[in-house]
């Protein structure tokens, strides 16, 4: 792999790393707008802040005078963050006006980005939206009344299509439309969906189906490779006595395996975020769990965690497992 | 002046090797299968190369060595060939950290209906021999475990693991990918490694050119040919021989035999100097594979809270070639499967960087990295939302993430 970045992208990155004057590294204290996108686990994360000159009477006439970022990510993620701040500061935008800046503007400013790096520009646009949303809350501006729908809620809601990056059907469909994405490669390039295990590419309700649904194309003639079965799934399938449909494992052994899988794969992840989980009961192949600590009572995390726990247990113990959050 | 520290990816061709292969690209262009006297030189040269490789493998029989186009071909030939020759056995054991040339072939075998068990590794990248014992079953066909890991340099105790496998069932084949160890560690297939049935490696990791590799197949090991359509290599690998590259491989192997002892001491000292120097200069870095036996030429370092591609980009500007296991450099969006299998925390898995040495490196190379790298890390950490540059430490809220 050699870098296919434009000269401008490279220059912006180098200036940023060296902290040259005019670059926008940093975080504004008591910012008027604060937005984040991405996570360190996913490989890139952006914290974006801006300060406005407040208009005495009308918040809509606030003007962004300073924009700053902190970014964990690759060359183009850092360059895209710089581009975002430069575009905003030089435009003299109001926060609502700044929403006109799209990921395409960032790509254009950088004089192009490789296809698989488009998600870096999308990350910039998403962090900007989040920061404007934050500003609106602080200033008491009702964005919805202005006809602005920032979809802040739909990322976590709905069926998760890409398990690796936890991206939902409504979010992916919206991005397919907004960014005019026509192929799976373009989706992966723009929002990362399907970029890791690739299992969501061609399964029913997967990325190809979403593309077909949005653009109204007939299913392509592409024949996917048979899915690679995890060893435990097959073991479980083989270990079922055909007549009874019951696992060969004793209930004690089965529960023990569930407990081990939770300890090894699930609990360490939850604990990283200050959460935990209790195994309440095992009834046949239904697993009853309760989330603890920071994860308890958070409606988003309950759904996400249930899916994560279920997926892990299906993979590690038995594909028939069903997880019920208590 | 280039500082090339990516020798686990490929190496420069040794001048001696280039000189040895050159005649077979010029005057000795003949097909070694041809009958006339002029072709004898090519045919003899292949024989000599085969004997050189056989000698380097502990004095195995020359006809146990097949020449291929690369290690990937050798591994494909071994795995697919074993499956086709042993239809009754349908279970394969390998590890989670193999090179894709084994990992992806195993996944492909699973698509064909075989069962594959991927053995896990611990935080240092080591395999638990007990896991291997538990994994092998009556229908196990082959155990495929690498000798040394290309990313971390962690060495598996292949002699023990192969012996153990044969203790459980002598008819289970044992394959090892020695791509990173040929020329670096002793490979005694008539002694310590006598339980190994199949061993694969390539030329371009030991100063021969790309496009040539070899596969050791122990006499009696049941493996069907992978490439069919000619009598070459006793019908076990058809296709006109790549004479010049085979000669190059033989020469490179001989060269490594001669210089190995001196090279190893020197290369290890360079690697250790770099490792100690970077650990002393940088907070929150960890050596991946620390605690395990490692190749003397490899340093895989994880720098917490920054991403690998930016580091490579900056190193490149300083004329330093290295590699990274970060998602942004992998061609996929997933970071290194090896580091993830080792449960390296997410704060570090994207910030891995590998420096790998060869006999052509010198102290100046280490000096240049030591001079450039701390500033590169400092520059990127100032941009990171997880780092407190004023105190040169992680932000308090980010610190617990380091423990994974």
pLDDT in tens, chain B (404 residues): 899 999 999 999 999 999 999 999 999 999 999 999 999 999 999 999 999 999 999 999 999 999 999 999 999 999 999 999 999 999 999 999 999 999 999 999 999 999 999 999 999 999 998 889 889 888 999 999 999 999 999 999 999 999 989 988 899 999 999 999 999 999 999 999 999 999 999 999 999 999 999 999 999 999 999 999 999 999 999 999 999 999 999 999 999 999 999 999 999 999 999 999 999 999 999 999 999 999 999 999 999 999 999 999 999 999 999 999 887 665 666 789 999 999 999 889 999 999 999 999 999 999 999 999 999 999 999 999 999 999 999 999 898 888 76
The whole-number pLDDT of residue A302 equals 64
Phi then psi for B329, rounded to 5 degrees?
-110, 0
Instruction: Give the pLDDT confidence of A47-67 residue by residue, as tens digits.
Output: 999 999 999 999 999 999 999
A26 and A135 share one domain: yes
- CATH number, domain of A25, equals 3.90.1010.10
Q: Which of A120, A162, A200, A295 is catalytic?
A: A120
Q: Of B304, B303, B306, B310, give the one whose Cα is nearest residue B399.
A: B304
Instruction: Reply yes or no on whether the pLDDT at A153 is more than 60.
Output: no
The answer to whether residues A103 and A11 belong to one domain is yes
Does domain B13-256 sit in CATH 3.40.640.10? yes
A180 shares a domain with A120: no
Return d(Cα B377, Cα B17) in angstroms, integer: 38
Q: Which among A146, A106, A99 has a CA at the least distance from the CA of A8?
A: A106
B106: annotated active-site residue? no
Q: Which residues of B touch A15 (CB under 8 A)?
A: none
Give the domain-ending residue among A91, A113, A146: A146
Q: Looking at chain B, which residues constitute the CATH 3.40.640.10 domain(s)?
A: 13-256
Query: What pLDDT, on a 0 to 100 scale, did the predictor assign at position B221?
Result: 95
| Structure tokens, B402 | 């380091």
What DSSP element (H or E) covers B285? strand B285-287
Whether B4 has its CB under 8 Å from any CB of chain A: the answer is no
With CA atoms as reference, the chain B residue closest to A76 would be: B310
Residues A127, A25, single domain; the answer is yes
Structure tokens at A319: 């594909």
Q: Answer yes or no: is pLDDT of A245 > 70.
A: no
Contact B328/A at CB under 8 A: yes
Average pLDDT of the residues of chain A: 82
Across the range A270-279, mean pLDDT stands at 78
Query: DSSP character for A264?
Result: I
Q: Is A298 labeled as catalytic in the residue annotation?
A: no
**How many domains does chain A fold into?**
3
Q: Which pLDDT does position B347 carry in this prediction? A: 87
At which of A119, A146, A173 does a domain end? A146
Chain A residue numbers touching B309 (CB-CB < 8 A): 74-75
Residue of chain A minimizing CA distance to B93: A231
Q: Do A196 and A240 belong together in one domain?
A: no
φ and ψ of B317, to 5 deg: -65, -30
The answer, for B379 touching chain A at a CB cutoff of 8 Å, is yes
How close does chain B come to A232, measured CA to CA in Å? 9
Q: Which residue of A has its CA nearest to B325?
A: A43
Instruction: Clarify whether residues A51 and A104 are in a common domain.
Output: yes
Last residue within a domain, chosen from A122, A146, A170: A146
Give the mutation candidate from A46, A49, A71, A74 for the B interface (greatest B CB count, under 10 A): A74
Task: For residue B273, give how far its alpha carbon lies from the nearest alpha carbon of chain A (Å).
Answer: 27
Report the CATH number that the domain containing residue A305 is assigned in CATH.
3.30.300.130
Whether residues A166 and A198 share a domain: the answer is yes
pTM of the model: 0.77
Instruction: Tell me, yes or no, if B388 comes closer than 8 A to chain A by beta carbon.
Output: no
Q: How confident is the model at residue A225 (pLDDT cuts 50, 70, 90)?
A: very low
Q: Which of A25, A188, A231 sits opposite B383 (nearest CB)?
A: A25
* CB neighbour list of residue A107: distance below 8 Å, 6 or more residues apart: A113, A118, A121
The verdict on a CB contact (< 8 Å) between B384 and A228 is no
Cβ–Cβ below 8 Å for A46 and B117: no
A11 and A141 in a common domain: yes
- Choose between B127 and A299: higher pLDDT: B127
* pLDDT higher than 90, residue A228: no
* Of B106, B284, B321, B328, catalytic: B328
The segment(s) of chain B belonging to CATH 3.90.1150.10 are 260-390
Is the pLDDT at A219 greater than 70? The verdict is: no
Counting every residue written for chain A, the total comes to 326
Nearest-Cα distance to chain A for B359, in Å, is 25
Nearest chain A Cα distance for residue B346, angstroms:
5
Among A54, A149, A34, which Cα is nearest to A94's?
A54
In a domain, A136, yes or no: yes
Interchain CB contacts (distance < 8 Å): A and B: 105
pLDDT tops 60 at residue A224: no
Residues A207 and A241 in one domain: no
Q: How far apart are the CA of B172 and the nearest CA of chain A, in angstroms? A: 19
Judge if A258 and A206 occupy the same domain: no
Q: What is the extent of the structural domain holding A59?
A: 7-146
A267 found inside a domain: yes
Write the CB contacts of A313 (distance below 8 Å, at least 6 apart in sequence). A258, A261, A262, A287, A321, A323
Based on the fold, state whether residues A121 and A172 are members of the same structural domain: no
Cβ of A272 within 8 Å of Cβ of B385? The answer is no
Average pLDDT over residues A193-222: 78
Phi, psi for residue A10 in degrees, rounded to 5: -60, -45
* Listed residue (B339, B323, B342, B320) closest to B331, CA to CA: B323
B90 touches chain A (CB under 8 A): no
pLDDT in tens, A154-163: 555 788 888 8
Q: Are residues A15 and A100 in the same domain?
A: yes
- Asked if pLDDT for residue A183 goes beyond 50, the answer is yes
* pLDDT confidence bin for A179, thresholds 50/70/90: confident
ipTM of the complex: 0.78
Whether CATH 3.90.1150.10 fits B260-390: yes
Between chains, do B310 and A74 touch, taking CB under 8 Å as contact? yes
Residues of B in contact with A27 (CB under 8 A): 385
B327 touches chain A (CB under 8 A): yes
């Amino acid at each position: 792999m050699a870098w296919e970045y434009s000269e401008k992208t490279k220059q912006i990155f180098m200036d940023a790393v060296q902290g040259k004057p005019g670059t926008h590294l940093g975080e504004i204290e008591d910012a008027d707008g604060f937005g984040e996108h991405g996570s360190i686990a996913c490989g890139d994360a952006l914290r974006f802040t801006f300060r406005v000159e407040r208009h005495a009477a009308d918040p809509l006439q606030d003007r962004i005078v300073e924009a700053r970022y902190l970014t964990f990510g690759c060359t183009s993620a850092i360059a895209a963050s710089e581009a975002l701040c430069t575009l905003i500061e030089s435009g003299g935008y109001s926060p609502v006006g700044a929403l006109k800046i799209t990921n395409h503007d960032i790509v254009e400013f950088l004089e192009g980005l490789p296809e698989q790096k488009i998600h870096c520009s999308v990350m910039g646009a998403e962090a900007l939206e989040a920061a404007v949303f934050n500003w609106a809350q602080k200033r008491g501006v009702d964005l919805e009344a202005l006809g602005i729908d920032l979809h802040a809620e739909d990322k976590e809601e709905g069926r998760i299509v890409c398990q690796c990056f936890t991206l939902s059907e409504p979010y992916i469909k919206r991005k397919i439309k907004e960014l005019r994405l026509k192929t799976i490669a373009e989706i992966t390039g723009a929002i990362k969906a399907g970029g890791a295990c690739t299992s969501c590419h061609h399964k029913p309700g997967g990325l190809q189906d979403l593309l077909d649904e949005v653009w109204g194309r007939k299913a392509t003639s592409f024949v996917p490779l048979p899915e690679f079965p995890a060893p435990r799934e097959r073991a479980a399938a083989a270990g079922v006595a055909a007549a009874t449909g019951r696992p060969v494992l004793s209930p004690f052994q089965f529960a023990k395996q569930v407990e081990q899988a939770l300890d090894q794969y699930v609990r360490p992840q939850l604990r990283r975020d200050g959460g935990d989980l209790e195994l309440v009961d095992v009834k046949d192949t239904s697993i009853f769990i309760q989330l603890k600590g920071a994860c308890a009572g958070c409606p988003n995390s309950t759904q996400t965690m249930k899916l994560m726990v279920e997926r892990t247990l299906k993979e590690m113990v038995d594909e028939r497992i069903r997880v019920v959050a208590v | 002046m280039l500082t090339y520290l990516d020798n686990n990816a490929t190496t420069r061709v040794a001048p001696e090797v280039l000189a040895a292969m050159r005649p077979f690209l010029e005057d000795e262009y003949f097909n070694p299968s041809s009958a006339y006297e002029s072709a004898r030189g090519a045919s003899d040269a292949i024989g000599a190369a085969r004997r050189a490789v056989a000698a380097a493998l502990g004095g195995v029989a020359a006809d146990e060595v097949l020449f291929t186009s690369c290690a990937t071909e050798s591994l494909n030939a071994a795995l697919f060939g074993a499956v086709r020759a042993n239809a009754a056995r349908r279970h394969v054991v390998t590890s989670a950290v193999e090179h894709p040339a084994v990992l992806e072939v195993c996944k492909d075998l699973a698509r064909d209906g075989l069962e594959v068990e991927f053995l896990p590794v611990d935080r240092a990248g080591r395999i638990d021999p007990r896991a291997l014992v538990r994994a092998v079953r009556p229908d196990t066909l082959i155990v495929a475990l690498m000798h040394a890991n290309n990313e971390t340099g962690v060495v598996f105790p292949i002699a023990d693991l192969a012996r153990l496998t044969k203790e459980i069932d002598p008819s289970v084949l044992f394959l090892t990918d020695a791509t990173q160890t040929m020329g670096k560690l002793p490979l005694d297939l008539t002694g310590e490694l006598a339980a190994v049935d199949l061993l694969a490696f390539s030329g371009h990791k030991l100063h021969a050119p790309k496009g040539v590799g070899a596969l050791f197949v122990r006499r009696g090991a049941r493996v069907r040919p992978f490439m069919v359509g000619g009598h070459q290599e006793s019908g076990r690998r058809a296709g006109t021989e790549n004479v010049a590259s085979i000669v190059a491989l033989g020469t490179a192997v001989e060269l490594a035999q001669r210089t190995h002892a001196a090279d190893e001491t020197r290369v290890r000292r360079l690697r250790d100097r770099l490792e100690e120097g970077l650990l002393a200069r940088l907070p929150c870095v960890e050596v991946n594979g620390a605690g395990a036996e490692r190749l003397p030429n490899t340093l895989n370092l994880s720098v917490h809270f920054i991403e690998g591609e930016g580091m490579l980009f900056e190193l490149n500007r300083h004329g330093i070639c290295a590699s990274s296991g970060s998602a942004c450099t992998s061609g996929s969006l997933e970071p290194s499967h090896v580091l993830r299998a080792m449960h390296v925390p997410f704060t570090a898995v994207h910030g891995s960087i590998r420096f790998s040495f060869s006999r052509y490196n010198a102290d100046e190379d280490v000096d240049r990295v030591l001079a450039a790298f701390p500033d590169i890390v400092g520059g990127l950490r100032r941009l990171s939302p997880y780092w407190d540059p004023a105190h040169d430490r992680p932000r308090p809220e980010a610190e617990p993430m380091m423990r994974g």
